[in-house]
């Protein structure tokens, strides 16, 4: 007679019973519970890590976006400052030039007339005659000095220097057979003022 088999109370001997539905031993239950807890912890940790990384990436992207916007604002601010400084520099330069020009002309009114006439004499050496109209206060000086300058530059035609009361000191009109040239400080100043005004207006529009 074989050895007696100890009865196991955790085994269901009912006919047709499913082994999977039979009671689990306490040790096996504890092992499976520990495995489930470990798996749940691992999955929870991985999920939390992914969320942490995603949040860090979101904050980094937001920080870069804010930095980019700040740099754009700074760049626009600097451009506006540069534009304003440039406009102010142009205005100051024009104001200084406008103040100095009359003083220089009053001090040496013949210099600008001589400079313009010299250039003309070089180009009009073969012209039969040239007429130079100057302010009547400069007539005596201009008649002598211009004749010397014309001969020194090879002009052999007839030079006529006329006094005109309506020509401002430092201005002149030079005429020859088929052309002429005028130096008019007031007209030049008006042209410069208009050009500077357009430039500054365009600059301010561009920088704003």
Domains (range + CATH), the chain: 80-102+194-207 (no CATH), 109-192 (3.30.2320)
**Banded pLDDT at 4 (limits 50, 70, 90):** low
Contact 84, 207 (CB under 8 A): yes
pLDDT score of 9 more than 50: no
pLDDT value, residue 163: 94
Q: Phi/psi class of residue 117: alpha, beta or left (left: φ > 0; alpha: ψ in -120 to 50)?
A: alpha
- Lowest-pLDDT range of 29-38, 88-97, 117-126, 181-190: 29-38
pLDDT score of 170 more than 70: yes
Q: Can you tell me the distance from the alpha carbon of 101 to that of 183, in angstroms, rounded to the nearest whole number?
A: 14
Contact 174, 127 (CB under 8 A): no
**Banded pLDDT at 7 (limits 50, 70, 90):** very low
C-alpha distances out from residue 138 to 64, 118, 145, Å: 71, 17, 10
**Strand ordering across the sheet containing 158-164:** 158-164, 129-135, 172-176, 179-183
Contact 143, 201 (CB under 8 A): no
Count of Cβ atoms closer than 10 Å to residue 77 Cβ: 10
Per-range mean pLDDT, top range of 86-95, 102-111, 147-156? 147-156
pLDDT score of 159 more than 50: yes
- Lowest-pLDDT range of 52-61, 80-89, 98-107, 180-189: 98-107
- Higher pLDDT, residue 53 or 208: 53
pLDDT value, residue 40: 74
Q: Can you tell me the distance from the alpha carbon of 66 to that of 12, in angstroms, rounded to the nearest whole number?
A: 69
Place of tokens 């109209």: 133
pLDDT score of 32 more than 80: no
- Lowest-pLDDT range of 29-33, 99-103, 128-132: 29-33
pLDDT value, residue 69: 84
User: Could you tell me the two tokens for 99?
Assistant: 């103040």
Contact 132, 181 (CB under 8 A): no
Contact 162, 130 (CB under 8 A): no
pTM here? 0.52
- Higher pLDDT, residue 7 or 60: 60
pLDDT value, residue 18: 55
pLDDT score of 150 more than 50: yes
Contact 129, 155 (CB under 8 A): no
Q: What is the pLDDT of residues 100-114, one digit of tens each?
A: 777 777 788 888 888
């Amino acid at each position: 007679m074989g050895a007696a088999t100890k009865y196991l109370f955790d085994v269901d001997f009912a006919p047709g019973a499913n082994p999977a539905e039979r009671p689990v031993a306490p040790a096996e239950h504890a092992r499976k519970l520990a495995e489930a807890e470990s798996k749940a912890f691992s999955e929870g940790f991985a999920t939390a890590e992914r969320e942490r990384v995603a949040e860090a990436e979101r904050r980094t992207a937001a920080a870069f976006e804010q930095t980019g916007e700040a740099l754009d604002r700074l760049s626009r601010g600097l451009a506006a400052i540069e534009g304003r400084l440039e406009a102010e520099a142009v205005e100051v330069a024009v104001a200084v030039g406008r103040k100095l020009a009359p003083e220089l002309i009053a001090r040496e009114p013949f210099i600008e007339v001589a400079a313009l006439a010299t250039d003309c004499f070089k180009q009009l050496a073969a012209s039969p005659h040239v007429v130079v109209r100057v302010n009547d206060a400069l007539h005596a000086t201009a008649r002598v000095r211009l004749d010397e300058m014309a001969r020194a530059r090879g002009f052999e035609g007839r030079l006529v220097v006329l006094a005109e009361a309506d020509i401002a000191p430092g201005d002149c009109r030079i005429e020859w057979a088929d052309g002429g040239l005028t130096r008019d400080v007031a007209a030049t100043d008006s042209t410069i003022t208009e050009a500077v005004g357009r430039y500054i207006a365009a600059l301010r529009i561009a920088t704003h």
